[in-house]
Structure 1
Amino acid sequence: MLGRKLVYRHEMPLRWGDQDAMNHINNTLYFRYMEQARVEWLDALCAEERREKNQGVVLVNASCTFLIPLTYPGEVSCDIFIGQPGRSSLPTFYELRRLDDHRLYAEGAAKLVWIDKLSGKSMPLPDALRLAFADAQKT
């Protein structure tokens, strides 16, 4: 991915109960996999701001392109990549791959906006996230 840097990888099992009538992992779960990776990444970077300072992110859009159906059993990895930040926005990109063959099964994107939870208004990204983006732009 040109202009993007891998910042986080999360691995998780594919669960039997997540299958649909076609014996594929239901499409809604792909968004859950991206969400779980995103939450863990943000916790690692800025848990204090999110929990103690009444700040956090809201999802303003999300997309997923389904390339190959995921099937049970197995494990999936979700890689998070970042691009150029805005004042308060976080562009994030995702790749979902099975651990047993590493092919790209789905790719996604989500734009997040950092907010003050009390007012609901956008605010500048915290320093920890700015540093993550600055480091990503160097490579």
Structure 2
Amino acid sequence: MTRPTPHGRAEYPYHHPMPTRWADNDVYGHVNNVTYYAYFDTAVNAYLTARGALDIHAGSVIGLVVETGCAYFAPAAFPDVLSVGVRVARLGSSSVRYELAVFRGNDEAACAQGHFVHVYVDRETRRPTTLPDTLRAALEELRAP
């Protein structure tokens, strides 16, 4: 397996500020690996709700994560202030592959980067559904070149 190289900050059209918390650190003194997935989820959902593309409480469509992955390049630790870059690598009729990268302070290279795939489903039936126009438009803004 080929090890990925860290992406640059400019490769991501949206950045969400993410201050670390004391509880993010593990006994080894750095942000625990599972915490990065929470950062990813927070950045994507903050973007979508801010644009009115996702109503997490009452919307008819919700996103379910069906795949994730992350590569780590350098440690982050409390009290680092991070930024999570978000882009869309693939946009289907009911699914989206997000690519994300975590940057420390003003660093240009990612300290971690990963992906996750959402399948958007009807809230009641949990069956895949076509992306609503407002959601698709918000995701189009994040398309990777």
Identify, as 1 or 2, the structure richer in helix.
1
Whether 2:60 is the aligned partner of 1:58: answer: no
Residue of structure 2 equivalent to 1:106: 112
How far, CA to CA, are the matches of 2:88 and 2:30 in structure 1? 29
Match of 2:102 in 1: 96
Partner of 2:128: 122
Q: Structure 2 regions of 5+ residues with no counterpart?
A: 1-6
| Counterpart secondary structure, 2:18 | strand
Identity %: 27
1:23-46 superposed Cα distances (whole Å, 9 cap, x missing partner): 011111111111110111121231
Question: What one-letter code is carried by the residue in structure 1 that aligns with 2:48?
Answer: L
Aligned residues: 135
Partners of 1:83 and 1:133 within 8 A in 2: no
Pair 1:47 & 2:54 matched: yes
Q: Decide whether the 8 Å contact of 2:88 with 2:144 is kept in 1.
A: no
Shift of residue 111, structure 1, vs aligned partner: 0.5
Name the TM-score, length of structure 2 as normaliser.
0.82
Per-residue deviation at 1:72? 2.1
RMSD: 2.1
Aligned match of 1:13: 19
Any stretches of 5+ residues in structure 1 without a counterpart?
none
Corresponding residue number in structure 1 for 2:80: 74
